[in-house]
Amino acid sequence: MTSSQQTYDLFADHVPADRLAAEEFGRHLRAAGLRPWLVEWSAVPHASLDAEQEFAVSASRLVARVIGRSGLSPWSKEDGGHKPPARETGKPAIVVLAPGCPVAPHQVPPDLSDNGVVDLRRGFDADRALRTLRRFVSGSAASDRTCVDPDRRLDPAALKRSVVESYDGIAEKFAARWVDHPPLGPLEKFLDLLPHQAVILDAGCGPGHHASFLAERGHDVVGVDLSEGMLRIARRRNAAIRFARMDVQALEFPPATFDAIWCAGTAMHVPREEVVSLFRGFRRVVRPAGVVGINMQIARRSEVVNYDADRRFFEYYRSGDEIAGLARRAGLVVVAADYGETTRNTHDLDLTLKWVTLYTVPAGVSSAA
């Protein structure tokens, strides 16, 4: 399995004092069609990148340091600034001067930037930022040039079509690989949080094996998916369970319909720009004392796979804590978590996959709900 495109254009780091400037910079870049990965650094020495930071840099084409009102002091101290990630990864580096930055481009030390300085001190101009950053991305290291498309924009609709078409194409293979191997531990923990005879939504039900597991334990389950190939298998194997073709990002149920929602793997196919909206949709249709189980892979680089008929987009996160933060923005609070590893995968490749399952409840509900 190989990645057919980079899914992030630049890794942008900043110190805590410049958080607002970095977030505004990120919003304008996303509006201009570029994907930044914003990471906050503390103003203390960093002799080398830790695993999480290295992962963030590796999933991007370019390293940017966003500097706002704090100025250069956190970065330029001889023994107090951190070593630029570009030095350790070979990624081209730039410095972005955000509005309010007291430093002019000619004052930026050359050791902080390989490719130059983007001066946005007079305000964010999305078109100018787009042109400048695309020029820097296009001028990436030679090893990256073959996969750089300066006009590429993240197209969530196209990614979704590719995911659905892929699942249609690999439906039988996927079912043969997974139907008899549901994640028993995470599912049992989910069951422990449910009321008797709960009404459950299996969001992204695939071939229906999780829905079947939950129904066999006395719960009323509804499964939804966009893949007709998967739904055909689910209906064939589980005639007593209701399955419907529906987009998990546009659930057609009234508010507070379900006692619980189980979402295994599906959220990985949603770009991070849209995942909070996905979780808010879950929050809308789950009851006030309900439970939402979110099961996802972590600690890999986001990618579009390229394996036979499989062209699925996968958005991966560094840790369960990162996903939990997005869930909180949607009004869901984590009350328990389960971590695990497996070598089982759809294409029987030599991989070890790390998974996290977060058990969440609507904000304001106790963990005993």
- pLDDT of 6 > 70? The answer is no
| Confidence category of residue 4, pLDDT binned at 50, 70, 90 | very low
Best CA proximity match to 132, nearest among 75, 71, 62, 68:
62
- Tell me the pLDDT of the chain averaged across its residues: 85
| Confidence category of residue 343, pLDDT binned at 50, 70, 90 | very high
The predicted structure's pLDDT at residue 171: 98
- Portion of the chain with pLDDT greater than 70, in percent: 83
What is the arithmetic mean of pLDDT over 56-61? 71
The predicted structure's pLDDT at residue 369: 38
Q: Locate the DSSP E strands across the chain.
A: 8-14, 36-40, 60-67, 93-97, 117-119, 199-203, 220-225, 242-245, 258-264, 286-298, 303-304, 313-314, 332-342, 353-362
Lowest mean pLDDT segment, chosen from 121-135, 146-160, 205-219, 324-338: 146-160
The tens digit of pLDDT for each residue in 22-54 reads 988 888 887 777 788 888 876 555 545 665 566
Fold of 8-145: Rossmann fold (3.40.50)
What is the arithmetic mean of pLDDT over 328-344? 96
Q: What are the structure tokens assigned to 259, written together?
A: 């006692």
The tens digit of pLDDT for each residue in 70-102 reads 888 766 654 445 555 655 566 778 889 998 899
| Confidence category of residue 57, pLDDT binned at 50, 70, 90 | confident
The predicted structure's pLDDT at residue 42: 67
The predicted structure's pLDDT at residue 368: 43
Ordered by start, the domain boundaries in the chain are 8-145, 156-362
| Confidence category of residue 155, pLDDT binned at 50, 70, 90 | confident
Q: What are the structure tokens assigned to 116, written together?
A: 């130059």
Phi-psi region for residue 28, left (φ > 0), alpha (ψ -120 to 50) or beta? alpha
pTM beyond 0.75: no
The predicted structure's pLDDT at residue 360: 98
- φ, ψ at 324 (rounded to 5°): -60, -40
- pLDDT of 147 > 90? The answer is no
The predicted structure's pLDDT at residue 308: 87
- Portion of the chain with pLDDT greater than 90, in percent: 53
Architecture of domain 156-362: 3-Layer(aba) Sandwich (3.40)
* Helices 19-31 + 126-138 axis angle, to 10: 80
The predicted structure's pLDDT at residue 151: 44
